[in-house]
Structure 1
Amino acid sequence: MRAIYLIARREFLSYVATWGFWLSLASVPMFMALGIGMPILIENSQPTRYYVLVDETGGTLEAALEAQAEASRAEALERAREAAREMFGNNPQIEAALASQPQFSDERYLRVDVGETELEALRPYLTGGASFTAADGEHGLFAAIFLRQGADGAIEVDYWSTNLSDSNLRSQIRNSLRGHMRTQFLVDAGVNPQLIETANDLSPTVRELNAGRTGDTAEVTDADKIPLFVSLFTALGLWVIIFSVVNMLLSAMIEEKGNKILEMMLASTRHHEILTGKLLGVAAVSATLLVVWGGMGLLGTVGMQQVAASADMPIAEILAAVLNPGLLLPALGYFIIGYLMYGALFLAIGSLCETLQDAQTLMTPMMLIMMVPIFLVMMAFESPDSPVVAIASWVPLWTPFIMLARLPHEVGMVEILGTTAAMFAFAAFVIWGSGVLFRMGALNQANQDTVKGWFSLGGKKKPAEG
């Protein structure tokens, strides 16, 4: 036991005593914040697009375009307000923030008048050969739009621009004119315009109800959906941690074998003590990750309480979902079993290889196996009763991630117990087999060519170098 403790202690300190470990520890929350904030930053940093609109009908289509665009913005704002009321209640600050958002008062595209209405005169502004003066300096034109209407009433739009990727303005023009054409068609058919407006405002009231409940508790609220998102992020977080720590095991194992450190350890300890010590040491590293990230999350939650109180966010429901023993205990169990399975496998692979280049052949199928749960977890979130997800839950290497994502969806007890039993049995087999491979690799009785020879059909097996 002392040898196992010393190896585990050495393995743990070799990581946590370095600046790189703590920098990488802090990088995950930082990248998560960047992932959330970067789209917002990109959206808010978009340059203003200036365009010219030429209505060859004398202003009829221009007026219709402005009316339809205003109606669309008002409708989008009302939908956002309704969603905000359902989630945060009646909050004047949130409604004011919604009204000021660019997508409702679209300031990304501004119409200007450069004193020209002919295409050839406008072309230099579109291609960078000429510019006009705006409030913030000199600019070229993003687009020139020509509206015309034929004798048969058909509307044509010529959209001139050198930007081939940004289609938002073109879509806005098309959708607004489409609404105008439909309304005008009904008016020409004798329908009262007021009646058309009333018809457009008609919308059903939809309530989502849980068939497993009765009475007032049957209605599904956002608080009921919080556990679904918590389980999803827990499953993805579990995958990230396991993926990170098993790569630590692999790299350290290959480095120690290449530097003959493993041989010196074998001179004083048994191979199973080395295997167990390394697994426990890196498990302590992963526990450090969980404690630090959990502490950051707790501090973030405390810091958000004031904001949550003013916005009427369901902070109590979020904390209840995160701290629910029905999720925490399975997550802990799935992490331990998943870590032992993958950790033992990666240690065995590392013991067979002298360099990282040697490990590439064996690592490729393992990486593919580890990538599959990412897609299956997302599928389990959307369709927990999918036959593909149900079958994949019985694959022991994927069980920890998929079942964790499926737990809030009331999975049958038989399936939970069955997949867990299969996972335990397979984990025991993997740990035993990895121990055998680790001993063979550590004693140079096998290498990566030995493993490839097991799966080759008919080829002559290359003997391990002594």
Structure 2
Amino acid sequence: MNKFFVILSHTYTNRIKSRAFIITTLLTIAAILVMANIQTIMDTFQEEGSGESTTAIIAEEPVASALSSSITGGELYEGGEEEAKKAVLEGEYDGLLVVEEGENGLPEGHYYMDQFTSSSGAEVRQALQQVKATIAAEEQEISGEALSVISSPVSFETTALEEGAKSEEELNQARVIVYIMLFVMYLAVVMYGNIIATEVTTEKSSRVMEILISSVSPVTQMFAKITGVALVGVTQIGLFILAGFLGITFADDTEGSLIQMAGLSNPDWGVISYAVLFFLLGYFLYATLAAMLGSLVSRVEDAQQIVTPMMMLVIAAFFLAISALSTPEATYIIIASYIPFFTPFVMFTRMGVGDVALWETLVSLGLLVGTIFLLGIIGARIYRGGVLMYSSASLLKNVKEAMQLSKKE
């Protein structure tokens, strides 16, 4: 047991002291703090930026007066149309609205700007639409009060009849939390799985493994490395959570902040608890597989290639989970949630945004835990023989040879 902790400690300390770990952690923490306070940052830059946008308006009365009062920065232009276009190109105005009377007697507009933007005169179009509606209503002798009633949005509410069903607000909040957790799980499995495979391969390529196996069993090495890298992940993600908590604390009082818009100021801790459980189980599942695959190659360059099938499983699980966000009760989603390599992603998503019976949760967890133990037993045997191999044969041949070598020990 002492040897186990020695390898675990060595793996952990080497990783957290590495330059890659420090740079990645600092950059991610900075990104989290920025995203948590993005609204405050945007408001600051907007206040320090250029002044209010202006729009030149060429139109006949009473349309001209109505538009100038309803468009932010709207100004009546006294000159000609060509002169106004030149003023837009020179930056005197952000845009030019030219309004003419159409064949039906209603106003028609043409908006000019120096180049297209994402808004493309959305406010101007809306203001002109309102003026057009007012003129049309007057021609049809419709009062302003009646027009207001007609144009007001209809009152519409949705209610779930099933007992215990999430409200629309709770469901939207759950979707945001699940989406964030899915990305965390995906990145963690990909990143730490690659670290484990590379760690094993590096020691083999430097012949350090031959020294280690003389004093420590390969199985002890495998699980010590998996646990050591897991602690690295816990440390890093713990720092990210702390940064997120501080970001939420600073941004929580900001009206319209990203945290409030996403509904994360009062998160669903039940969903987060399930995320932690499925994250840990998913990590040990893929970490064991990564250690096993890493032991089959002797060059670092081959490590990335041999874990490709595992990465394809992770990507497939991730996209199935994304699909489950909108269709959690689809047949293919339900089936995928019981497949152990997909369960950490898909079943977690179903539980977050859908209604999953307790027996479904227990069955999926049982299959997942059973697969981890089975993969651990098989992986230990392959690892025991794989660390002694230095051939570059195909994956299946390497697995067969590793199993044969493990029996000879």
Q: Indicate the TM-score class for this superposition, using the shorter chain for normalisation.
A: 0.7 to 0.9
Structure 1 pair 221–141 and aligned structure 2 pair: CA distance change class (3 A):
closer
Which residue identity lines up with residue 196 of structure 2 in the other structure?
L
Match of 2:193 among 246, 257, 260: 246
Distance in 2 (alpha carbons) for counterparts of 1:402 and 1:153: 58
Q: Is the 8 A contact 2:55 2:95 kept in 1?
A: yes
Q: Does 1:146 align with 2:91?
A: no
Q: Secondary structure at the match of 2:111?
A: strand
What does residue 403 of structure 2 align with?
none
Structure 1 pair 393–63 and aligned structure 2 pair: CA distance change class (3 A):
farther
Structure 1 pair 146–452 and aligned structure 2 pair: CA distance change class (3 A):
farther
Q: Does 1:3 align with 2:3?
A: yes
Distance in 2 (alpha carbons) for counterparts of 1:23 and 1:337: 27
Q: Is the 8 A contact 1:231 1:407 kept in 2?
A: no
Query: What are the within-5 Å matches in structure 2 for residues 294-305 of structure 1?
Result: 294-296=241-243
Which residue identity lines up with residue 67 of structure 2 in the other structure?
L
- 1:411 CA drift (Å): 0.2
What does residue 64 of structure 2 align with?
62
Distance in 1 (alpha carbons) for counterparts of 2:118 and 2:28: 34
Q: Secondary structure at the match of 2:268?
A: helix
- 1:419 CA drift (Å): 1.8
Distance in 1 (alpha carbons) for counterparts of 2:267 and 2:110: 56
Distance in 1 (alpha carbons) for counterparts of 2:344 and 2:174: 17
Q: Is the 8 A contact 2:279 2:344 kept in 1?
A: yes
Q: Does 1:377 align with 2:340?
A: no
Q: Does 1:157 align with 2:109?
A: yes
Distance in 2 (alpha carbons) for counterparts of 1:298 and 1:40: 17
Distance in 2 (alpha carbons) for counterparts of 1:446 and 1:337: 32
Q: Is the 8 A contact 2:37 2:250 kept in 1?
A: no
Q: Is the 8 A contact 1:208 1:219 kept in 2?
A: no
Distance in 2 (alpha carbons) for counterparts of 1:386 and 1:47: 50
Match of 1:419 among 344, 360, 364: 364
Which residue identity lines up with residue 275 of structure 1 in the other structure?
M
Match of 2:302 among 343, 353, 358: 358
Distance in 1 (alpha carbons) for counterparts of 2:138 and 2:75: 32
Q: Give deviations 1:144-181, integer Å, cap 9, x for gaps.
A: 221111343253322222312x1424222223323333
Q: Is the 8 A contact 1:210 1:219 kept in 2?
A: no
Structure 1 pair 256–48 and aligned structure 2 pair: CA distance change class (3 A):
farther
Distance in 1 (alpha carbons) for counterparts of 2:301 and 2:322: 32
Q: Give deviations 1:333-370, integer Å, cap 9, x for gaps.
A: 32332111111222233233344432343344433332
Distance in 2 (alpha carbons) for counterparts of 1:174 and 1:184: 15
Match of 1:386 among 304, 311, 330: 330
Q: Give deviations 1:125-154, integer Å, cap 9, x for gaps.
A: 444xxx4xxxxxxx4443222111134325
Structure 1 pair 189–246 and aligned structure 2 pair: CA distance change class (3 A):
same
What does residue 340 of structure 1 align with?
284
The number of aligned residues is 388
Q: Is the 8 A contact 1:50 1:140 kept in 2?
A: no
Structure 1 pair 162–306 and aligned structure 2 pair: CA distance change class (3 A):
closer
Which residue identity lines up with residue 348 of structure 1 in the other structure?
M
- 1:253 CA drift (Å): 2.4
What does residue 21 of structure 1 align with?
21
Query: What are the within-5 Å matches in structure 2 for residues 312-323 of structure 1?
Result: 321-322=268-269
- 1:301 CA drift (Å): 6.4
What does residue 168 of structure 1 align with?
119
Q: Is the 8 A contact 1:377 1:405 kept in 2?
A: yes
Q: Is the 8 A contact 1:373 1:398 kept in 2?
A: yes
Distance in 2 (alpha carbons) for counterparts of 1:369 and 1:247: 14
- 1:14 CA drift (Å): 1.0
Q: Is the 8 A contact 2:8 2:224 kept in 1?
A: yes
Deviating 4+ runs (over 6 angstroms)? 301-308, 317-320, 452-455
Structure 1 pair 25–167 and aligned structure 2 pair: CA distance change class (3 A):
closer
Match of 2:217 among 252, 270, 278: 270
Which residue identity lines up with residue 369 of structure 1 in the other structure?
L
- 1:275 CA drift (Å): 0.8
Q: Does 1:396 align with 2:340?
A: yes
- 1:10 CA drift (Å): 1.0
Distance in 2 (alpha carbons) for counterparts of 1:413 and 1:378: 22
Q: Secondary structure at the match of 2:394?
A: helix
Q: Is the 8 A contact 1:344 1:434 kept in 2?
A: yes
Per mean C-alpha deviation after superposition, the further-off stretch among 389-398 and 14-23 is 14-23
Structure 1 pair 228–111 and aligned structure 2 pair: CA distance change class (3 A):
closer
Q: Is the 8 A contact 2:320 2:333 kept in 1?
A: yes
Distance in 1 (alpha carbons) for counterparts of 2:328 and 2:144: 47
- What percent of counterpart residues are identical? 16
Distance in 1 (alpha carbons) for counterparts of 2:253 and 2:39: 25
Runs of at least 5 residues in structure 2 that lack an aligned partner in the other structure: 400-409
**Pairwise CA RMSD of aligned residues?**
3.7
Distance in 2 (alpha carbons) for counterparts of 1:301 and 1:54: 44
Distance in 1 (alpha carbons) for counterparts of 2:21 and 2:182: 23
Runs of at least 5 residues in structure 1 that lack an aligned partner in the other structure: 71-105, 132-138, 456-466
What does residue 34 of structure 1 align with?
34
Q: Is the 8 A contact 1:5 1:277 kept in 2?
A: yes
What does residue 88 of structure 1 align with?
none
Structure 1 pair 359–60 and aligned structure 2 pair: CA distance change class (3 A):
farther
Q: Is the 8 A contact 1:49 1:142 kept in 2?
A: no
Match of 1:117 among 70, 80, 101: 80
What does residue 450 of structure 1 align with?
394
TM-score by length of 1: 0.70
What does residue 377 of structure 2 align with?
432
